[in-house]
Amino acid sequence: MIFIICLLIIYYKINFHKYYKKYVDGKFFYFSQLGDDFFYKKSIFSYATIIPILIISLILSLASKYILKDIYLNSYFGEHSFSEISIWLIISLILFIYTYFRLFVFILVGRVFKFEVKILNVIVYDFLRITIFLSLINVFLFFLFYSFTDFEFSKKVFDTNRFLIVIYRFFYYLLRIRKIKHINFFKLTFYLIITELFLSLITLF
């Protein structure tokens, strides 16, 4: 499983190097590009977008074996005698579909609010960029704490960080979007409450 993930990462780094840097280089969180940057012009169905979503889905699915613990996984899959690889692939598929569902919600609700395509592209791709980068850090921290402490403490750190990622994305959007184009503050806040806070929090809980 780890071998497959590594192959995908190497493939993406070699063939989509300029996009790869946007996802893994932390400096882009401090020196963020404007909305007309090349990163925001690709299709959500292009390989440059699909592969990172696939990679993070596979990584989070693999991590869930430890974070959710076998007792939780067995309650869903154990009675049907699924293999470990099958469970990994099923959870990966669910995460992959869920990620695209979130992207579609951002776009569809944004059209209802009559946001420009440029703004929606920034929201969608920054959602992916932030989520992938910080989720990788969160998984790393979980295993780091798990190596030196017990599972319960590590799980609490992981869950707390998930919540902080959601809050960070919310305020990041408030500042980022208004820098690109002046949008009514209450309109933007209401949009983000629906698409970011509401959906993210019901997922967490």
pLDDT tens string 88-121: 888 899 999 999 999 999 999 999 999 999 889 8
pLDDT in tens, 125-172: 989 989 999 999 998 998 899 888 888 888 889 889 999 999 999 999
More confident residue, 167 or 71: 167
Of 36, 22, 190, 18, whose CA–CA distance to 119 is shortest?
Answer: 36
Of 166, 172, 204, whose CA–CA distance to 188 is shortest?
Answer: 172
pLDDT-derived band at 71, boundaries 50, 70, 90: very low
pLDDT at 35 (0 to 100) = 45
pTM for this entry:
0.87
